[in-house]
Amino acid sequence: MSLKIGDTAPDFSAKTTQGNIHFYDWLGDKWAILYSHPADFTPICTTELGRTAQLKEEFEKRDTKVLAISVDDIDSHQNWVKDINQTQNTKVEFPIIADTDQEISRLYAMIHDNVSTSVTVRSVYFIGPDKRIKANITYPASTGRNFTEILRVLDSLKLTAEYSVGTPADWVDGQDVIISTSIKNEEIAARFPKGHQSINSYLRYTPQPNR
């Protein structure tokens, strides 16, 4: 199964370090980051889960819940969390799924058999309140994720879901955005009262609407 942007994120029930969850119920009307790590007690994953815990307030500001997953069991997860908290000077409080039968990992195409038939790659799914996949990023096991980029993508997704704009290359929260080509020139003043700059007929900038 290959999940694409716009697809409905598969529902599931799972055992996690925070107790049993039913994904849709757990998600509610929030945004979610669902991401996989290859294995417990591995160095790169330790830094990633630690960084996620350190960014707790940033995810909360964005009304976003975080859920991690690997094919290791709950006891392994719980023991590893102690290492993460100690080595990364943080406290992991988000759930980590124990997917020992690989059911959820394969449901989300997190296991790439040409790389490994038993462990997940570093997949990241951005899931909206409508339970649809809004974006996904996949890294090989050897490359740690850039959480500045994950937050940037999340900011862009939330902004563009609400307004008829797109975000240009290297955009970060607070910078000008691009007005959608579906908006006619005569509609811009009413839709974007902060003003705009037209570079040409299709490239039109406006200050970020929710700032």
Query: HSE-up of 21 (CA within 13 Å, CB side)?
Result: 21
Annotated catalytic residue, options 9, 45, 121, 124: 45
**Closest by Cα among 34, 16, 15 to 131:** 34
SS3 sequence of 106-128 = HHCCCCCCCCCCCCCCEEEEEEC
26 an active-site residue? no
Output DSSP code: residue 8: B
Q: Are strands 64-70 and 96-98 parallel, antiparallel or unpaired?
A: parallel
| Residue-level length of the chain | 211
Helix axes 43-54, 147-162, angle to 10 degrees: 50
Question: Token digits for 188?
Answer: 């811009």
Which residues have a catalytic role annotated? 45
